């Protein structure tokens, strides 16, 4: 029947069966062994599911009788016998079979299995086989079951039970009504689409929207075509669901039909990005649309972000905005700190080996330095954060900005040695603010470098002051009398060269830490360093 072997999966062990010959293994025995594999495994449920899915896919290549597709449906028939485990096993087996289909060009039993799958679906609908409704859709899609297969499956029921089930289409339509009554819209819509049932109209769409079944409503409208999609967009706009309306317009190429809505949606998206300080992301999404670019300039003017106004006007030749005087009400309260107020003598960009060695020599002579890092923000859900792009090390009068991406690419060993010398020096006090976030990001970005694994004489200013809100900007305002301009934080730190505003922002974040430290230690405010 097979051999057992132990496979390490994640942090646990999963016992799997190779099943080199399935010619004499019944579906019942196979399911029993599958259950044993699952329950004796010690790794997490997700890891076990994936490992067993892969194993079942391999099993189906070992010539199960009468064929892999039929064997799969027979397993699905028996899965409910395993009570609470049937739900998970059913999804596992179907997903494994789908994976198997991608590798196999032909299935000898593919024609007969459609009828067998139709029998199973009919039994599920009639309550003779206990599977959830999602399995019905997976069976229909996986085995491409047609109404003709349903007709064959219903013949024995009519003969044996003497029950009139009507035509296959009527049988399916009654099931759809049951699904709608229990508000299982997404499955009902999928069935309508699969069997080309389209006699439900606009009122059906409105019912789904009223029940907040928005995914089902979109699926139905897409199936029905442009008029229904337009109705859906209008309903979304009325509910102020601009983002959803925008996605449907974009997905179905309906920009010409809803120019005003499309513009409102784009402007709303830009405004949200601007409020988060993501100006570079907002600019990238404009795609050279002049009207939207002018709107972004207005947003910058409203935010009192004059340097962004100047930057955009210069880049896109929007000269008429330069003569507009900002109303007093649009200028943000308070003021921002500038480098010249702190008498900073120089900002030094370090991206070559000579500059790296020279910077290390200079920093070695400092007693106290501020540390900070910047990386390009990532707004794609589920994706990995971008690499740390730059690292700032500064004294009161001088700031060194290290191009980590370039230095790591060209002189990784020298970079590692120099930063290890600085970060592990017992003679240099290193100051950070919430620096644990930076250390974690540095270690993930450059795991092969030793310099980001350990730090000597590192003081996190945040742990001393416990500023409840506003972070370093608020602390700087409290101690030094002016805040930091955090509108530059979410910019593209991977572009080269960095803009003068980016360089100033990066330098300030490190320099102010040293000034805060010296200010308080000089004042003797009861803070012990």
Rounded to an integer, the average pLDDT of 22-29 is 76
Return the H-helix or E-strand segment holding 417.
helix 412-423
The 3-state DSSP class for residue 336 equals strand
Q: What is the pTM of this model?
A: 0.60
Q: Is the pLDDT of residue 12 over 70?
A: no
pLDDT at 444: 94
Instruction: Categorise residue 497: left if φ over 0, alpha if ψ from -120 to 50, beta otherwise.
Output: beta
- Which of 489, 116, 76, 509 lies closest to 308, judged by CA? 489
Domains of the chain plus CATH, in order, are: 4-208 (no CATH), 269-330 (no CATH), 340-523 (3.30.420.10)
pLDDT over 90 for what percent of the chain? 35
pLDDT band (50, 70, 90) for residue 234: very high
pLDDT band (50, 70, 90) for residue 384: confident
Please tell me which of 38-47, 79-88, 510-519 the model is most confident about, judged by mean pLDDT: 510-519
Cα angle 391-395-398, degrees, rounded to a multiple of 5: 80
The mean of the pLDDT values for the chain is 84
Who's near 118: CB < 8 A, 6+ residues apart?
145, 149, 150, 152, 153
pLDDT at 155: 79
Q: Is the pLDDT of residue 449 over 90?
A: yes
Who's near 286: CB < 8 A, 6+ residues apart?
270, 292, 293, 296
User: How far apart are the C-alpha atoms of 229 and 217, rounded to whole Å?
Assistant: 9
Q: Is the pLDDT of residue 441 over 50?
A: yes
pLDDT band (50, 70, 90) for residue 10: very low
Who's near 170: CB < 8 A, 6+ residues apart?
none
What's the alpha-carbon Rg for the chain, to the nearest Å? 32
User: How far apart are the C-alpha atoms of 98 and 113, rounded to whole Å?
Assistant: 14
Q: Is the pLDDT of residue 327 over 70?
A: no
User: How far apart are the C-alpha atoms of 249 and 93, rounded to whole Å?
Assistant: 37
Q: Is the pLDDT of residue 440 over 60?
A: yes
Q: Tokens for 281?
A: 């992301």
Rounded to an integer, the average pLDDT of 489-506 is 89
User: How far apart are the C-alpha atoms of 171 and 165, rounded to whole Å?
Assistant: 6
pLDDT at 322: 57
Q: Burial level of 365, CB count in 10 A (0-12/13-18/19+)?
A: exposed
Which stretches does DSSP call E strand in 131-260? none
Beta bridge partners of 15: 6
| Residue 370 · residue 431 · CB < 8 Å | yes
Beta bridge partners of 7: 14
pLDDT band (50, 70, 90) for residue 526: very low
Q: What is the DSSP string of 77-139?
A: HHGGGGGGGHHHHHHHHHHHHHHHHHH-S--TTHHHHHHHHHHHHHHHHTTSS---HHHHHHH
pLDDT band (50, 70, 90) for residue 36: confident
DSSP-based helix, strand, coil % in the chain, nearest 5: 60, 10, 30
Q: What is the DSSP string of 347-371?
A: EEEE-SHHHHHHHHHHHTT-SEEEE
The count of other CB atoms within 10 Å of the CB of residue 340 is 8
Length of the chain as a residue count: 529
User: How far apart are the C-alpha atoms of 26 and 217, rounded to whole Å?
Assistant: 43
Rounded to an integer, the average pLDDT of 175-183 is 90
Please tell me which of 64-73, 303-312, 401-410 the model is most confident about, judged by mean pLDDT: 401-410
Beta bridge partners of 236: none
The 3-state DSSP class for residue 426 equals coil
Exposure letters 47-62 (e unless 16+ CB within 10 A, then b): bbbbbbbebbbbbbee
pLDDT band (50, 70, 90) for residue 323: low
pLDDT band (50, 70, 90) for residue 330: very low
pLDDT band (50, 70, 90) for residue 385: confident
pLDDT at 14: 47
pLDDT at 7: 43
Rounded to an integer, the average pLDDT of 223-245 is 93
Q: Tokens for 447?
A: 């795991």
pLDDT at 8: 41
**What does DSSP say about strands 458-460 and 429-432: parallel, antiparallel, or unpaired?**
parallel
pLDDT band (50, 70, 90) for residue 503: very high
User: How far apart are the C-alpha atoms of 471 and 457, rounded to whole Å?
Assistant: 22
pLDDT at 333: 44
User: Phi then psi for 347, rounded to 5 degrees?
Assistant: -115, 120
Q: Give the DSSP letter of residue 499.
A: P
User: How far apart are the C-alpha atoms of 475 and 478, rounded to whole Å?
Assistant: 5
pLDDT at 411: 97
pLDDT at 19: 52
Q: Is the pLDDT of residue 248 over 90?
A: yes
Who's near 298: CB < 8 A, 6+ residues apart?
none
Q: Burial level of 287, CB count in 10 A (0-12/13-18/19+)?
A: exposed
Rounded to an integer, the average pLDDT of 150-172 is 74
Among 345-349, 461-465, 503-507, which stretch is predicted with the lowest mean pLDDT? Answer: 461-465
pLDDT digits (tens, 9 = 90+) for 278-311: 888 888 888 888 889 999 998 988 877 777 888 8
pLDDT at 1: 35
Q: Tokens for 81?
A: 């016998």
Q: Is the pLDDT of residue 5 over 50?
A: no
Who's near 349: CB < 8 A, 6+ residues apart?
355, 401, 403, 497, 498, 503
User: How far apart are the C-alpha atoms of 298 and 303, rounded to whole Å?
Assistant: 9
C-alpha separations of 87 from 74, 83, 92, 225 in Å: 15, 8, 9, 35
pLDDT at 110: 67
pLDDT at 529: 43
pLDDT at 52: 84
User: Phi then psi for 372, rounded to 5 degrees?
Assistant: -160, 165
Rounded to an integer, the average pLDDT of 334-358 is 89
Q: Is the pLDDT of residue 47 over 50?
A: yes
Rounded to an integer, the average pLDDT of 247-262 is 92
pLDDT at 340: 82
Q: Is the pLDDT of residue 21 over 90?
A: no
Q: Is the pLDDT of residue 448 over 90?
A: yes
pLDDT at 468: 59
pLDDT at 479: 85
Cα angle 288-386-428, degrees, rounded to a multiple of 5: 125
- Which of 494, 492, 507, 505 lies closest to 404, judged by CA? 494
Which is more confidently placed, 29 or 366?
A: 366
Beta bridge partners of 393: 371, 400
C-alpha separations of 246 from 32, 182, 226, 271, 295 in Å: 50, 30, 15, 15, 18
pLDDT at 84: 61
């Amino acid at each position: 029947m097979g051999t057992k072997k132990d496979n390490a999966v994640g942090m646990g062990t999963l016992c799997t069966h190779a099943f080199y010959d399935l010619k004499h293994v019944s579906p019942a025995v196979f399911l029993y062994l599958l259950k044993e594999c699952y329950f004796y495994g010690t790794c997490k449920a997700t890891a076990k599911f994936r490992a067993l899915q892969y194993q079942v896919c391999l099993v189906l290549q070992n010539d199960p009788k009468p064929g892999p597709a039929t064997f799969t449906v027979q397993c699905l028939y028996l899965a409910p016998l395993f009570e609470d485990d049937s739900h998970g096993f059913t999804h596992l087996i179907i997903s494994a079979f789908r994976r198997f289909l991608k590798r196999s060009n032909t299935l000898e039993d593919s024609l007969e299995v459609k009828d067998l799958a139709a029998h199973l679906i009919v039994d599920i609908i009639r309550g003779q086989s206990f599977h959830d409704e999602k399995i019905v859709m997976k069976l229909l899609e996986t085995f491409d079951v047609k109404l003709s297969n349903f007709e064959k499956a219903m013949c024995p029921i009519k003969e044996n039970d003497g029950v009139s089930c009507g035509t296959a289409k009527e049988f399916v339509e009654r099931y759809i009504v049951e699904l709608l009554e229990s508000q299982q819209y997404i499955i009902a819509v999928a069935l309508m689409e699969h069997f080309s049932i389209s006699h439900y109209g606009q009122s059906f769409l409105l019912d789904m929207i009223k029940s907040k079944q928005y995914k089902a409503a979109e699926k139905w409208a897409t199936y029905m075509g442009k008029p229904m999609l337009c109705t859906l967009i209008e309903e979304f706009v009325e509910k102020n669901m601009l983002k959803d309306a925008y996605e449907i317009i974009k997905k179905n190429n309906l920009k010409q039909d809803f120019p005003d809505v499309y513009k409102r949606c784009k402007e709303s998206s830009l405004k949200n990005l601007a409020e988060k300080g993501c100006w570079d992301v907002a600019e990238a999404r404009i795609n050279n649309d002049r009207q939207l670019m002018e709107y972004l300039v207005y947003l910058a003017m409203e935010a009192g972000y004059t340097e962004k106004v100047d930057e955009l006007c210069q880049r896109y030749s929007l000269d008429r905005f330069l003569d507009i005087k900002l109303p007093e009400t649009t200028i943000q309260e308070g003021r921002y700190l500038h480098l010249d107020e702190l008498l900073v003598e120089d900002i030094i960009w370090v991206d070559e080996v000579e500059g790296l060695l020279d910077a290390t020599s200079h920093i070695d002579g400092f007693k106290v330095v501020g540390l900070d890092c910047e990386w390009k923000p990532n707004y794609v859900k589920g994706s990995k954060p971008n690499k740390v792009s730059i690292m700032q090390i500064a004294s009161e009068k001088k700031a060194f900005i290290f191009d980590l991406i370039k230095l790591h690419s060209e002189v990784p060993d020298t970079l590692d040695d120099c930063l290890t010398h600085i970060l592990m020096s017992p003679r240099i006090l290193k100051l950070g603010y919430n620096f644990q976030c930076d250390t974690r990001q540095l270690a993930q970005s450059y795991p092969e470098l030793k310099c980001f694994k350990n730090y000597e004489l590192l003081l996190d200013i945040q742990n001393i002051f416990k500023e409840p809100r506003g972070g370093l900007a608020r602390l700087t305002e409290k101690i030094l009398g002016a805040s930091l301009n955090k509108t530059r934080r979410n910019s593209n730190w991977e572009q080269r060269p960095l803009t003068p505003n980016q360089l100033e922002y990066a330098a300030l974040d490190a320099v102010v830490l040293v000034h805060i430290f010296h200010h308080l230690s000089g004042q003797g405010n009861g803070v012990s360093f």
